[in-house]
Structure 1
Amino acid sequence: MSDALPDSPFNLARYCLHQGEDAAKPALLVAEGPRGRIIETWTYGEMRAAVARMAGGFAAYGLPRGSRVLLRVGNTSHFPLLFFGAIAAGLAPIPTSTLLTQDEVDLILADSGALLVVGDGSGAMPSDPGAARVLGRGEIAELEQADPAEVSDTRADDLAFLVYTSGTSGRPKGVAHAQRVVLGRRPMREGWLGLSASDFLFHAGAFNWTYTLGAGLMDPWSAGATSIVHLGERPPEAWPDLLEATGATLFAAVPGLYRRILKYGSVTPSRFPALRHGLTAGEALKPTLYGEWTRATGRPLYEALGMSEISTYISSGPGVTTRAGSPGKPQAGRKVCVLPSDAAADLADQPLPPGETGILAVHRSDPGLMLGYWGLPQETAAVMRGEWFLTGDLARFDADGYLWYEGRGDDQMNAFGYRVAPEEVERALADHPSVAEVAVTEAKSGEVSVITAFVVLHEGAVGDADALARHAARHLAEYKRPRAYVFVRELPHTPSGKVLRRALRT
């Protein structure tokens, strides 16, 4: 990125909420029901005032700057108020999925050292909060009524928030982002979203997901646009009506949802006329799905490639023609390259020429790049090579600058747009008394890949997939659980004894 970081106080919450001068303009619309009835409208003026009150409420606890705040909050207007209110107070919120189990919440609380846990009853809470103070619905209401506070004078490189993602060890690890992360999103607002202040952006995901948190909140607000959130169930056949009722001009979702909308919804070029184009990320967009969507709707569909550590940095968009099968080109101003897969190779930190496959990398100067993995300096160092952050993705560039994804350089899996480490799922399943050994990987099921558990049973044990599924449900969030169980006599291993997951994928 060519833009220097500001040397004066810089706060993410202030940046996102004070770009537009029109205080009366809608910042957030909250819809509910299959017809998308608008039940809440928050103007920028109202949102700024509410965030200031939240900041005042958080500041009253007297916590040191950078203290973590674990958010166990659903997909309502409370989420952005709490998230940005904590950042405005100089604290570091940790958005988490309401699908997480108590075991998973306990791990995150212990790892992050959060001093506050905020819950609205929509998800599991820690079994023992320890030194952390727990705030429930009553305390949230008190925060909303607190005296407003000035935005904290944080700096661009100060901690802003943490997001937890599966680590290579199978234990969740915190991705620490700085206040400057929002500056790293500027290239995608134009290069992928095609976003302007007049837009109404409807994101299908929950706010706690980094895809939604960025594209559904930070981006529209930092452009002075309007964000739309929906409460309750949203069956795929309801989406055409929802898009029409809310007047969405941009729609963001994972490819799987676009597929289901086409299958179950009434989709024609005359439906949702306000929509200019769709946006997709989280998993690869199949060329067949791209063709089906564009033919059925008459509207473009723009893909992006990203991850929790850097967000999206490769994309197609209004200025980059989609090339089916490729997520696009590096966004303007990004320094992105492909490095040799072998770290010991000569010139290992020098970009490969077009056509050669290697590890996709982003320059460490990108303001959207994480500060590091929370409390894990060795793991942070392991993903850096010279001046480059290694994404772990295998890829190549063609002669025209389009990226072609060639899979992961490790065993991590993709479930509904979330990256999941097989070790985390294996560890949970290995605790079941009938399991002697287990390996988890993505395996083909028709046209899609699903998380599949290959299980070796103890002698005398009976293979019971339902029992294993119930066990997984007690220990893992829904998106991490295997969708299939295969019972085998033995697992393939390397000569050194490591399970060879790749041999199980076909």
Structure 2
Amino acid sequence: MNLSVRLDETAKINASKPAYYFMGQSSTYGELNAEVTKFASGLEQLGLKKGDHIALVLGNSPHFVIGLYGAIRLGLTVIPINPIYTPDEISYVIKNGDVKAIVTLDLLVPLIEKMHHALPEVENYIVCESGDERAKGVDLSQLSAAGKMKSFTSVVESGYLDFKAPDLKEEDVALILYTSGTTGKPKGAMLTHKNLYSNAIDVAGYLKINEEDRVITTLPMFHVFCLTVVLNAPLMKGATLLIVPKFSPKEIFDIAEKYEPTVFAGVPTMFNFLYQYSEGKPESFASLRLCISGGASLPVALLNNFEQKFNVVISEGYGLSEASPVTCFNPLDRPRKPGSIGMSIMNVENKVVNGLGEEVPPGQVGELIVKGPNVMKGYYKMEDETAATIKNGWLYTGDLARTDEDGYFYIVDRKKDMINVGGFNVYPREVEEVLYNHPSIVEAAVIGIPDPERGEAVSCYVVRKDENITEQELFAYCQEHLAKYKLPASIEFLKELPKNTTGKILRRSLKDQVLQG
């Protein structure tokens, strides 16, 4: 079984049920499945075959869904790429990923034009029509002259419904996800059909996603959190996607009032924006049965404030690209523990180990490692990195964690982000939790900076909603709640913190700015 076959089966059962709503339009499962089949057939007629690599340089749209499932149906390996990457960043992924075809938006063609001469291996550029007025002035002459440009619509229309898909093995690579590359060049995590399907089905079962659910899909589709939790898992169960092109609090509340969603998934920053949005009415979220948080640790103060305001439970989970991504979630049928990432989902095993790979007792901090059908095949063309990350079948996550007596896991921090102050370990998250508890703080990030006497010092960067709060007042507040060696050496107020496209606060980027500045 794989995602494509399961979508086909779901479409036969729910042919007339809405698969998604997007910008006032909708498509049934029958219509979506037909488009997927025709796109797969159209790609085959362009000369693409099983095992070839295709890139999706797209934002949230039906084009992404059809492109993803159509490519998988043909047996291609899909490489999703963040559309706001620079030409150099996109070129690196395309070259390293041996991409033969690119699906992109008409508005992004000028970006593609800048790099296509340096990408001789790319044989086809499939351009999606956005309907945006700005696209009317886009110059397509270079790609058209090279004979490499096709419209998405024409590729679909050239396909046929009696297309026969190739046989796919569960260990065939379906997706290569390039990590964000905070250190060095991005690495391509190879995810197989088994990886993707097992995680989508297990997540859907764990979160009790069903055909009655309406899921707000505003996380970026090119990101693995969205791919599995709010795209693949719902589609496997016949749920309806409410596709939002770009996150904004106003848009989310408008969608909620119009379509009465039952599930919302986001990163902590999104929950913060929704909580802070002055025009957001609690009754707008009355239909929600579940909110899901991932991508980064959710501050406990924010979790409690959000749940109290909107009367909805947030289930925090954990995952990483190399695990397709989900390994843990707070259970729905047992007590949820604020601050915890929950327990292992079905078919996945997590444990916390010391430097020798030995499991440590509850309460002790170690590295979180993972085993299961969701663990990647390896990094593309990087055997040494693969061997360093997967040992004896266990994926070493690089995250520091602990467990409690009930088997719940808690992420302490990234191994690389830990601050060593005079021989004492300080975890940025515990300092951030204290800052988030202060009523005047909207966001906080903590990093370690070089210190000539102690090795490293704690440096805090915060966004405040009360301009009158001072550094001295915050420092005094920290003194009440933190041990002396954990106290910040400096506190700086910023208008905003650096984030990636999912809204995750980037400590590494902040640290680079500080050290370079």
TM-score normalised by structure 2 residue count: 0.74
Pairs within 5 Å for 1:426-465: 444-446=460-462
**Match for residue 369 of structure 2 among 345, 361, 384:** 361
Match of 2:189 in 1: 175
Q: C-alpha distance in 2, partners of 1:388/1:65?
A: 29
Match of 1:375 in 2: 381
Provide, for residues 248-300 of structure 1, a one-character-per-residue CA deviation record: whole Å limited to 9, x for no partner. Answer: 11111111111111111444542232211211111111110111111101111
Match of 1:338 in 2: 352
1:140 aligns with 2:125: no
1:116 aligns with 2:101: yes
Read off the aligned partner of 2:22 and give its amino acid letter.
V
Offset, 1:146: 2.1
Q: C-alpha distance in 2, partners of 1:477/1:99?
A: 12
Pairs within 5 Å for 1:223-262: 223-231=237-245, 234-262=247-275
Q: More displaced, 130-139 or 273-282?
A: 130-139
Offset, 1:239: 2.4
Offset, 1:358: 1.1
Read off the aligned partner of 1:404 and give its amino acid letter.
Y
Q: C-alpha distance in 2, partners of 1:290/1:489?
A: 34
Change (3 A) 1:280 1:411: same
1:392 aligns with 2:398: yes
Match of 1:281 in 2: 294
Q: C-alpha distance in 2, partners of 1:48/1:220?
A: 15
SS in 2 for 1:19: helix
Q: C-alpha distance in 2, partners of 1:240/1:331?
A: 30
Offset, 1:478: 10
Offset, 1:356: 2.0
Contact 2:199/2:374, CA 8 A, preserved across alignment: yes
Provide, for residues 366-409 of structure 1, a one-character-per-residue CA deviation record: whole Å limited to 9, x for no partner. Answer: 22111111111110110122231111111111101111111112
Match of 1:30 in 2: 22
Q: C-alpha distance in 2, partners of 1:139/1:88?
A: 20
Match of 2:142 in 1: none
Structure with the bigger RCO (C-alpha within 8 Å, sep 6+) is 1
**Match for residue 294 of structure 1 among 288, 307, 321:** 307
Provide, for residues 411-441 of structure 1, a one-character-per-residue CA deviation record: whole Å limited to 9, x for no partner. Answer: 5999xxxxxxx9xxxxxxxxxxxxxxxxxx9
Contact 1:203/1:215, CA 8 A, preserved across alignment: no
Pairs within 5 Å for 1:151-162: 151-162=165-176
1:323 aligns with 2:315: no
Q: C-alpha distance in 2, partners of 1:478/1:129?
A: 31
Match of 1:131 in 2: 121
Contact 2:262/2:289, CA 8 A, preserved across alignment: yes
Contact 2:16/2:28, CA 8 A, preserved across alignment: yes
Contact 1:320/1:328, CA 8 A, preserved across alignment: no
Q: C-alpha distance in 2, partners of 1:175/1:16?
A: 24
Contact 1:26/1:44, CA 8 A, preserved across alignment: yes
Gaps of 5+ in 2: 128-149, 419-427, 430-446, 448-456, 465-497
Contact 1:11/1:153, CA 8 A, preserved across alignment: no
The number of equivalent residue pairs is 414
Read off the aligned partner of 2:7 and give its amino acid letter.
C
Q: More displaced, 120-129 or 45-54?
A: 120-129
Offset, 1:213: 1.2
Provide, for residues 344-379 of structure 1, a one-character-per-residue CA deviation record: whole Å limited to 9, x for no partner. Answer: x3xx3x42222222111111xx22111111111110
**Match for residue 93 of structure 1 among 70, 78, 90:** 78
Provide, for residues 189-223 of structure 1, a one-character-per-residue CA deviation record: whole Å limited to 9, x for no partner. Answer: 232x3311110111221211111111121000101
Offset, 1:157: 0.7
**Match for residue 414 of structure 2 among 408, 411, 416:** 408
Contact 1:100/1:477, CA 8 A, preserved across alignment: no
Contact 2:366/2:400, CA 8 A, preserved across alignment: yes
Pairs within 5 Å for 1:38-77: 39-77=24-62
Q: C-alpha distance in 1, partners of 2:516/2:34?
A: 62
Match of 1:417 in 2: none
Change (3 A) 1:319 1:292: same
Match of 1:205 in 2: 219
Over aligned residues, Cα RMSD in angstroms?
2.9
Change (3 A) 1:162 1:262: same
Q: C-alpha distance in 1, partners of 2:74/2:348?
A: 31
Provide, for residues 87-137 of structure 1, a one-character-per-residue CA deviation record: whole Å limited to 9, x for no partner. Answer: 101111111111111000110011011111222234432342212113242
Q: C-alpha distance in 1, partners of 2:334/2:391?
A: 29
Change (3 A) 1:42 1:356: same
Change (3 A) 1:132 1:488: closer
Percent sequence identity over aligned pairs? 25
Match of 1:184 in 2: 199
Provide, for residues 160-183 of structure 1, a one-character-per-residue CA deviation record: whole Å limited to 9, x for no partner. Answer: 111111347510111111011211
Contact 1:187/1:331, CA 8 A, preserved across alignment: yes
TM-score normalised by structure 1 residue count: 0.76
SS in 2 for 1:145: helix
Q: C-alpha distance in 1, partners of 2:459/2:65?
A: 37
Contact 1:117/1:135, CA 8 A, preserved across alignment: yes
Contact 1:241/1:272, CA 8 A, preserved across alignment: no
SS in 2 for 1:87: helix
Match of 1:11 in 2: 2
Contact 2:101/2:126, CA 8 A, preserved across alignment: no
Q: C-alpha distance in 1, partners of 2:516/2:342?
A: 43
